[in-house]
Structure 1
Amino acid sequence: MNFQTYLPSEILKPYVRYFYKLETDVGLPTAEKTLRTIADGCPGIVFQENSKGKLVRDQKLLPSLFLFGQSTRPSEISMTGDFDTLGVCLHPNALNSLFGLNAELLTDSCLELDALSARKESTLSDKLNDVCTTAQKIEVLSHFMVGKIKDKRSGKEGGIQFALDQLLHSGGTSSLKVLQEELCLTERSFERKFKEYVGISPKLFSRICRFQSSLKQLQTNQFDKLSDLAYENNYADQSHFIRSFKEFTGLSPHQYQKRSTELVENLTELIL
């Protein structure tokens, strides 16, 4: 697989982490692939040209262009044909702050992005299929998202954004109780607002941040023993770390190292 990232324009940086292109190696025979999604705390957009190949999840054909929310559990996607995908990795708050959606409604789910397009003769997916180069496709998606900035509802959950930033910067180790008290919110209000803004509870988001921190260390071999990973990422012990790892990947750390190749931060290719 060939993977390349592209930075967003300045106006999109508060909403978009990066664009990426993922495609099958040229000249290699096409074979069905099994991909697994894992929790990374970020929603995103995927565009896969139907003429190249198709993505199937839970025996259902995915749209060629879709917006997806937070992932809280691993799921497998089968790929038939050539992989030629343009993706957008969004910031955790983007479903709400950019698209004005209740982020919780898209958790572990997706939405055909054409449904959010203005009612015109050509859909967003039509426009993407009408251009050829990656740069042109990124321009089409960027223009669409900039339009959403202008159209989105006014106001911003500044307090929840502060809590989100603290959890991201601390790798999920910030005290939720302290954050809640700093925002002068009850536990129930804090959870409700966080779910609407991010898609999941602050506790689950915190756990995903810790998991991602340990995953990066695992992938780069920055540890001597699994217990080191556990304690460095504030897990009670090694068994607690392994249970959490299995929850978000469907594999133990050892199985993940043996059977997975990371394609994108929230997508791995399984070696069957």
Structure 2
Amino acid sequence: MNYQTFKPHPDLASIVKCHWILEIPDGSEAPKQRIVPDGCIEMCFILGDDIKRYTSDTEFTLQPRAMVIGQITTPYYVQPTGYVNSFAIRFYPYGFSNFIDTPIRQLADQDTPLEELFGRHTAANLEKAIIEASSTEERIAIVENFLLSKLSEQSTIDQIVKSTIDSLYQTNGKAAINSILKDEMHKRRNLERNFLKTVGISPKQLGKIIRLQAALKSLLNQDDETLTQIAYESDYYDQAHFIKDFKTFTGINPKDYLTDDQMILSSLIYSQE
């Protein structure tokens, strides 16, 4: 399994978290992989064989070959049908809203084909260029040129939303919205509305996801820490609260996380961030 991340162009660094590739020579026998919320939106191109996204225990759809994966609020499962070769762009929570007119909240928990967001002709040309590129570096250059050309058509990031998200990341999701706004409580309703518009979920929900991500990384990097210690360090009220949030966003208990073969892909991704 080859998973790598690449830094974005400096002009995109405030809205693009990274570019990434994933390659698995033959994933046809791989178990389902559980994908959990991370607070980000991704534009993904499937360059290998098809990938299933399960809608129930037994039913699935094939993911679009060129798509945007919206905010995830509950865990879901994917499974490759053969050779895995994917190239993607991971946006900060507020990042992707700068490139489309479609309300971001409409993309939540969905795989939206690029043509629905950018039009058939534009999406087809971009997908063709990505497929025909001879290297990851060339693909990054192609998609960054596309994003930079679209960005020039859009307004700048809402500063209240951005500063709130920055605070949530800096505190691993621990900062309360009241403390972030401080003496600007009158702006809270406006913040909630703009969050749904540019991020797709509420500030409170994003804070929970960021805090969980910090706890997941602690689990992966733990030495002899107990679940109680991890819950305390992640600022959960108690271990029961930690376990409840963990199960909500991952579908399993924390103690089962490291040994679950359906979490191999997620564990690899989180261990490298």
Measured against the shorter chain, the TM-score band is 0.7 to 0.9
- 1:56 equivalent to 2:57? Answer no
User: Counterpart of 2:233?
Assistant: 232
Structure 1 unmatched ranges of 5 or more: 267-272
Query: For 2:99 and 2:14, how far apart are their aligned partners in 1?
Result: 9
Task: For residue 181 of structure 1, report the CA deviation from its aligned partner.
Answer: 4.7
- 1:43 equivalent to 2:35? Answer no
- 1:14 equivalent to 2:42? Answer no
The Cα RMSD (Å) is: 2.2
User: Counterpart of 1:142?
Assistant: 144
User: Counterpart of 1:111?
Assistant: 112
Residue identity opposite 1:14 in structure 2: S
Map 1:92-111 → 2, pairs under 5 A: 92-111=93-112
Task: For residue 189 of structure 1, report the CA deviation from its aligned partner.
Answer: 2.9
More helix by share: 2
Query: For 1:100 and 1:183, how far apart are their aligned partners in 2?
Result: 28
Task: For residue 96 of structure 1, report the CA deviation from its aligned partner.
Answer: 1.5
Task: For residue 24 of structure 1, report the CA deviation from its aligned partner.
Answer: 0.9
Query: For 2:170 and 2:227, how far apart are their aligned partners in 1?
Result: 23
Task: For residue 2 of structure 1, report the CA deviation from its aligned partner.
Answer: 0.8
Residue identity opposite 1:99 in structure 2: I
User: Counterpart of 1:131?
Assistant: 133
Query: For 2:156 and 2:38, how far apart are their aligned partners in 1?
Result: 27
Residue identity opposite 1:141 in structure 2: V
Q: Any conservation in 1 of the 2:5–2:19 contact (CA below 8 Å)? A: yes
User: Counterpart of 1:207?
Assistant: 208
Task: For residue 29 of structure 1, report the CA deviation from its aligned partner.
Answer: 7.6
Residue identity opposite 2:33 in structure 1: L
Q: Residue 67 of structure 1 aligns to a residue in which SS?
A: strand
Query: For 1:62 and 1:156, how far apart are their aligned partners in 2?
Result: 30
TM-score normalised by structure 1 residue count:
0.88
Q: Any conservation in 2 of the 1:22–1:86 contact (CA below 8 Å)? A: yes
Structure 2 unmatched ranges of 5 or more: none
Map 1:16-35 → 2, pairs under 5 A: 16-25=16-25, 30-35=28-33
User: Counterpart of 1:269?
Assistant: none
TM-score normalised by structure 2 residue count:
0.88
Q: Any conservation in 2 of the 1:114–1:123 contact (CA below 8 Å)? A: no
User: Counterpart of 1:151?
Assistant: 153
Number of aligned residue pairs: give it.
261
